[in-house]
Amino acid sequence: MAARGASLTIAAMNTSTSSSAIPSNEGTTPLLPRIVVLATGGTIAGAAASATNTSGYQAGVIGVEQLLAVVPALSTVARMESEQIASVDSKDMAMPLWTTLAQRINTLLADDEIDGVVVTHGTDTLEETAYLLHLTVKSDKPVVLTAAMRPASALSADGPLNLLNAVTVAAQASSRGQGVLVAFNNKIHSARDVVKTSTYAVDAFHSPEIGALGWVQDGRVEFQRGVVRPHTLATEFVIGATWPHVEIVVSYAGVSRIAVDALVAAGVRGIVVAGTGNGSIHASVQQALADAASQGVAVVRASRVGSGHVMRNGAAADDALGFVSAGSLNPYKARVLLMLALAAGATGPVALQKIFDTY
């Protein structure tokens, strides 16, 4: 397996390594797809002091070459390359790393010789990174994220099979044009729909209400539905180095307006509210958000419930208050979309609602 760069830091990422060491099956037909694994850290690269410890471990300490080395079957699925983009616990994911990752994926996929990309990631913010890439990757080639709930050192670690399955999905022609995918525990999810739903279970990712796109098992990939909303090549979003300041607030019993007022004073461009039920908001926070919207802050109503959607002018009078409905996006994905929309120059609730209705 050829490693493209071995650095653990973003700044020192080496992307110029030649591919001469790539195992080739030239002479036999056909050539296996060429897949690049971009590692960012997470539990899939985590290690604990003992094989029975699955909660007290350090994420992101095992290098990508080692992750690939324990799965020899990868070489029967694809010609493998790898790069260590970062080594972070994904709770610490930050926008500069998103920029680096998306730009690297776009550069790789512009190369006619590369057939797809797999990203290894922590589970904690995987759904945010996946949706960000879904909206900013400019290629129809497969991009598949995967992760693990148990560290690499654990009994029954789930990372190796998840990695093999992710590469299998990325190597499939039928994965092209489906946007960014998440392969986890034998299921294939769309980046737009998938969310983490368990703190410990190996079956930690689901696409609430809508279900997975398909499945992968023993080298077989089957898609059972398609992706309806525009993504990748069909979006107006490009990855950039500047990120509008958007934060999330939560509505709950007894909440005050202090957080919203502090965010407005700090100069945020947008606020997503994780409302109760159908995006309903405690009266004190709703007034603070209405005041924020009247000062030009973009306000998006999402729900803390975990499934379903937020109806425009349902639980709040969006037209009168200047709010936008997040529809079926959870607050964390709504924040990703709001940042990209503001960065693309969208302003005002009408233009922003159109974007939320589209993506």
Catalytic residue annotation: 43
Radius of gyration of the chain (CA): 21
Query: Do the bridges between strand 323-325 and strand 298-303 make them parallel or antiparallel, or are there none, so unpaired?
Result: parallel
| 81: CB partners within 8 A, 6+ apart | 1, 2, 3, 4, 19, 22, 34, 35, 36, 37
Contact between 167 and 80 (Cβ < 8 Å): yes
Sole residue written with tokens 């995006």: 279
Contact between 265 and 292 (Cβ < 8 Å): no
The C-alpha atoms of residue 159 and residue 268 are separated, in whole angstroms, by 38
- Applying CB under 6 A, the residues found at the interface with ligand SIN are 41-43, 59, 89-91, 122-124, 147, 149
- CA 7-9-10 angle, to 5 degrees, is 110
The C-alpha atoms of residue 298 and residue 276 are separated, in whole angstroms, by 19
Token output for 213: 């796109």
Token output for 281: 């908001």
Minimum distance from CB of 230 to ligand SIN (Å)? Answer: 28
The C-alpha atoms of residue 145 and residue 133 are separated, in whole angstroms, by 10
Minimum distance from CB of 225 to ligand SIN (Å)? Answer: 27
The C-alpha atoms of residue 137 and residue 355 are separated, in whole angstroms, by 17
Give the residue among 24, 280, 57 at the shortest CA–CA distance from 159.
57
Instruction: State the chain's maximal CA–CA distance in angstroms.
Output: 71
The C-alpha atoms of residue 158 and residue 218 are separated, in whole angstroms, by 15
The C-alpha atoms of residue 291 and residue 285 are separated, in whole angstroms, by 10
DSSP strands (E only) in the chain: 2-3, 34-41, 79-88, 116-120, 143-146, 180-184, 187-190, 195-196, 205-206, 214-217, 220-223, 246-250, 270-275, 298-303, 323-325
